[in-house]
Structure 1
């Protein structure tokens, strides 16, 4: 709209400029918050990107509803082969066989299943020095340190008892820790865990 000349026109122009400036400041101030909100969750796309980045060839997992969105992405990815197991203990022997054959597996498992499969982890994963990353759903974990689910209470104690290093991942901003876990498996020739502390957003 054209603004007529004169004092009133000048005033309207100044008011319009001030309004635009205020709006611009609001947009600029809000953008970081939007980015923070996007980074506050762990997206399945980010998990898949980390797998591809680190050369994963096979995903060994026990199918469940909690990994639905991630499953759909993995299934559509031609570079990945999904290997379903009927119980968690079989994940470690399967991963050991794949690694022995020159493949690069990853294990998707929940903390409860990992603890149940402790003897298989001991015998196959640690006993054979299998360099595999375990992405562990941290069921019951909260940032407040008050656990209402004992699965969370014993998860880190379990890993410490087995001498397995682990990285906590809560959001997309933590994705580099997944790569760090892969690098550690190469150096140590041992299993390394990635604890997924935001399982609901990341895997559902």
Structure 2
């Protein structure tokens, strides 16, 4: 068995849609616990799970830990001007404000295998919480990063992206989405067919 296979075997399995606990709010992490070796080890395990399961973010409830923390990747300008991917940890986060403007995008989820959804969300959010060291943190996110934050945050409240679909027809299979060039221009909603994965469509 390879080292990668051994690492994968040591990871908690993904909890998927239909599990009743995944649809309930999770409990807060005691602040005094954040800097402890035990909690830091959990953050590392969550990161390994995100990499192994090929996620751009992952919330603790998705691997059976029903506490309020998650990891997400964001894109920032690097020293050479090129975008670089940054890993961020949010513990006991909260959304303090959301923009009145919204956008739409295709979303997927490790806990909802085989499906994608055309989902509307606020275009920007201001957030607060604690970072991986237990320090108070605040950020403003816009565009795709705002969407990733909101998606992971939803997990902490027991929400999955299909629950946010404005129309059941906005949920499609991966196979159908891969063949979307054959869809009518307004299916399943105006702009959905031609919006690339990972992009947002302003409302």
Q: TM-score range by the shorter chain?
A: under 0.3
For the pair shown, the structure with the greater C-alpha radius of gyration is 1
Name the structure where strand makes up a greater proportion of residues. Answer: 2
Scaled by the length of structure 1, what TM-score is found? 0.26
Scaled by the length of structure 2, what TM-score is found? 0.26
